[in-house]
Every structure is written in structure tokens, then in C-alpha cells.
Amino acid sequence: MPKFIYTLRKPGHGLRRSGRLLLGGWAGLLSALSGTSGLHAQPATPTGSMLLAPAAVFDGQSLHAGWAVLIENDKIVSAGPAAQVVLPPNTRRLDLPGLTLLPGLIEGHSHLLLHPYDEAPWNDQVLLESQALRVARATVHAQRTLLAGFTTARDLGTEGAGYADVGLKQAINQDIVPGPRLLVATRALVATGSYGPKLSVDEDVPQGAQEADGVDGLIRAVREQMGKGADVVKVYADYRWGSNGEAQPTFSQEELTLIVQTARSAGRGVVAHASTPEGMRRAVLAGVETIEHGDGGTLEVFQLMKKHGVALCPTVAASDAVAQYKGWHKGADPVPARIQQKHLSMAAAQKAGVTLALGGDVGVFAHGDNAREMELLVHDYGFTPLQVLRLATSGNAQIFHLADRGRIGPGLLADLVAVAGDPTQDVAAVRQIRLVMKGGVLYKQP
């Protein structure tokens, strides 16, 4: 756990101190010299050039030993064999011996407004926790995410916290709190009656997402969410509202198609929570860009996804965490049926050649533990470390239309992470974060 988190938790140490620590080193020095510090620190934008000289560079696709990366302000200028990088005058040099430099990792499915369900059940978080409490937690979650090496996160719904993700994103962009660049979904859309929390049938309680139905209701809700800041629109294409609590489709084909058309006409993509074959099928035909979870996916539905170019964000870490919260002693107990089903669906998705996004549904488990999805894909699902590194960088960037990041190359954002060891050989190295840079600003350095 990063040092400053402890600092934050110690009584008597406020944000001012943590801000200094966070923006320590290069950026902190600049900030101190210019007489700014604390909450209103100017964006500690580094001026001039800096050469990062690690043992190797993973550029989003493959590993290059002996490469160095030149940055200027918030952008990468060049990357290549160290001897061939042309250095402008007064270039600072940061040697990173034994470290591998990567593009900042991209979390594909987070909920910064949630905290782990073994700390508080989802119902309690939605119904009992104030928005102020949830936002206060979320600022810490954002810091942990960034310092875990994830410089971008697609945050897929506030789960009852309204548009708090929009404000959180603004606070990060204004350097009030450190955190990843965010793509936010705001409230998300559910069909009336399909979602939760559910208490007595006599009580209408606040829901974890916005209920909307039909032509008028859905067009209005999608536009309202976009107008208030949604970068992506999230829809629950199915949910556990069957007669026996099993997952069943929610919106009709016509409704899903309308949601996608309304979002797309304003330049936003739609992501669908779906785990039933029929919910997934409708979402694919409607034109969503990614399907989240996909636990009940069949070979047929994955082939349909492949045909329509829809990516799957499998969130294996959330499935793993929830099974353990329900009492599964991993390694000792037999594998639960839901996890076995997850393995079957992942095998079918791979057989169909579906593109995968990397996202763990973090929030169900602890923020900052984002690497869990990468580790599980390697250890439990047979992926190579190189495959998951590509998913977490260039792969996610492509799926999420983030052409300015996910790779290391000229003109791209200087969002960079250095880890000890070689993560293309051993995925455990992604836990060994030694440097985090976002937009040329160092948030952590050796």
C-alpha cells in the first residue's frame, strides 16, 4: 500500500501534507519553487524535457530491452534504443535500473463510488451511506487506483450516488485529488422493477441506477445522463429479477436499440451489463460496444459478438471475490458452480475469438487491487502475462477509443508506469509499482 495512504489515515495529517508527498520529487519541486502547494497547487506541469532510462520498455505491444523514453511536458516525444534518442538541451535524466516502463494501465470496469461488499453489502452502501461519505471514500479510491499504476479508468456507474462521478472526475482533472483519467457512466439505466435495492414491496426505495422505460423515458434519460457528463452510457440488459431470483432480460430489443441510437447520435458508446444469452444477444444486436460479465454466454452468442465486433469485459476478479465472500475457501474447497460456469463461458469466448477488454469490476473488491484481474486471467484462465499486459494497455485503449494512450510512442500522453522486474514474463511484477506518471507529472518515483 502506498505510503501516503497511511499518512492520510493518521490523525493530524491533512490533505496539504499528502498533496506534497504525492507531488513530491520533480513536480513537487516545481510546485514549491513557484510558491504553490497544498489544495490549490497549480497543476504541477513539468516544463522542459525528461529522459526515462529503464532496463526495458513495454510499448503496449512488445518488450524492448535498452530502450529509453523522452517526454516533454505532458507528452511522449520519442521512444527507442537509448543511444539513438536525440536529447534537447537541458534534458533531465531519470535512470530506472532494473525496471520495466509501461504505458499507464487502463482499468476497464470500476466503481469508484463502491467499496468491497465484505465491508458493507451493496444494499447498505446504496441505502445507508450518504453521498458525502461515498464521495470521501471515492477520493481515496481514486488515489489508490492511480498509485496502483492505473492512469485511466472506465467507471461504470455510481450505484446510487447520482452524478458524483462527474464531480470526482472534475476534482481529478483540476488536481484537487490525485486519480486516474476517468470515463464515467453516471447513473446507468435499468428497466423499472428490475434492479435494486428491494425491501418490502410496500416501499419504493432509492435505486442503484436510473429507472427508465419506453421511447420517451429512455430518450430523455440517456440525454439527461449525457448532458450531465456521461462519457459512456451503461445499460443493464439483464438482471437477477426472475421469478426465482435468476437473471432474466430487462429491456426489449427495441428499447436497447433506441438507447444505442440516442447515445451514438451524440458521440457516445453504450456498454451493457449482461450475463444471459438472450440479454447479451439483444445488446449485441442493439449495437453496444462492450458486454460486461457475460457469465452465461454460449458459443453461439460469443460468435455473434465476434461478428458484430463487440468486446467482452469478463470481470473474472469480481466473480472470484463474490464467491469468496460467500464462503468459498479457494484452493481448499471445490470450485463453486458459478466459477465453473465462468470458466466455460471464457473458453467459449476464446473459441469464438471475441476481443477481450480488461476490467475487474473493482469496487466489489478493493480499489488499488486492480491487478487482481490480470493475475487471475494468467493463473486461473490460462492467459500469458504478455496477453494481459496488451489487454490492459493498447487493447483497452483501442476498445475505449482512447487513441492518445495505451501505448508508448511519439505524441501520446506521458502516462507511464515503471515496475520492478519483467511483467511480460511474470505478471506479479505489475504489483511492484515503482513510478507512476500521468500527463508528465510524477505521482510516485523511486
> C-beta of 182: minimal distance to Zn ion in Å?
15
> Distance between alpha carbon 144 and the CA centroid of its chain, in Å?
12
> C-beta of 275: minimal distance to Zn ion in Å?
11
Looking at beta carbons only, is 18 or 319 nearer to Zn ion?
A: 319
φ/ψ bin of 39: left (φ > 0), alpha (ψ from -120 to 50), beta (otherwise): alpha
Query: Which positions from 85 to 104 touch Zn ion by CB under 5 A, shown as an x/- string?
Result: --------------------
Contacts of 403-406 with C-beta under 8 Å, sequence gap 24+, read 405/103, 405/104, 405/106, 405/151, 405/152, 405/181, 406/60, 406/103, 406/106
| Dist CA 364 CA 371 (whole Å) | 14
Q: Which of residues 181-240 bind Zn ion (CB under 5 A)?
A: none
> C-beta of 361: minimal distance to Zn ion in Å?
4
Number of chain residues interacting with Zn ion (CB under 5 A): 1
> C-beta of 373: minimal distance to Zn ion in Å?
12
31 class by beta-carbon count within 10 Å (0-12 exposed, 13-18 middle, 19+ buried)? buried
> C-beta of 95: minimal distance to Zn ion in Å?
40
> C-beta of 125: minimal distance to Zn ion in Å?
13
Residues 6+ apart with CB under 8 A from 214: 255
Query: 430: which 3 cell numbers?
Result: 505489475
Looking at beta carbons only, is 122 or 381 nearer to Zn ion?
A: 122
Q: Which of residues 331-370 bind Zn ion (CB under 5 A)?
A: 361
Looking at beta carbons only, is 320 or 361 nearer to Zn ion?
A: 361
> C-beta of 372: minimal distance to Zn ion in Å?
14
Q: What are phi and psi of 117, to 5 degrees?
A: -70, -15
Return the closest-CA partner of residue 255 out of 207, 194, 199. 194
Looking at beta carbons only, is 318 or 374 nearer to Zn ion?
A: 318
Looking at beta carbons only, is 231 or 361 nearer to Zn ion?
A: 361
Looking at beta carbons only, is 52 or 156 nearer to Zn ion?
A: 156
Looking at beta carbons only, is 80 or 314 nearer to Zn ion?
A: 314
Contact (Cβ atoms closer than 8 angstroms) between residue 273 and residue 217: no
| Dist CA 318 CA 363 (whole Å) | 9
Looking at beta carbons only, is 289 or 361 nearer to Zn ion?
A: 361
Looking at beta carbons only, is 322 or 389 nearer to Zn ion?
A: 322
Contact (Cβ atoms closer than 8 angstroms) between residue 38 and residue 16: yes
> C-beta of 431: minimal distance to Zn ion in Å?
23
> C-beta of 421: minimal distance to Zn ion in Å?
31
Return the closest-CA partner of residue 109 out of 180, 168, 210, 212. 180
Q: Which residue has the CB atom at the shortest distance from Zn ion?
A: 361
> C-beta of 71: minimal distance to Zn ion in Å?
34
| Dist CA 370 CA 107 (whole Å) | 7
> C-beta of 122: minimal distance to Zn ion in Å?
10
Looking at beta carbons only, is 7 or 123 nearer to Zn ion?
A: 123
Looking at beta carbons only, is 22 or 188 nearer to Zn ion?
A: 188
Looking at beta carbons only, is 103 or 297 nearer to Zn ion?
A: 297
Query: Which positions from 30 to 69 touch Zn ion by CB under 5 A, shown as an x/- string?
Result: ----------------------------------------
Contact (Cβ atoms closer than 8 angstroms) between residue 396 and residue 430: no
* Residue 100 β-bridge partners: 56, 419
> C-beta of 158: minimal distance to Zn ion in Å?
11
In the complex, which residues of this chain contact Zn ion (CB under 5 A)?
361
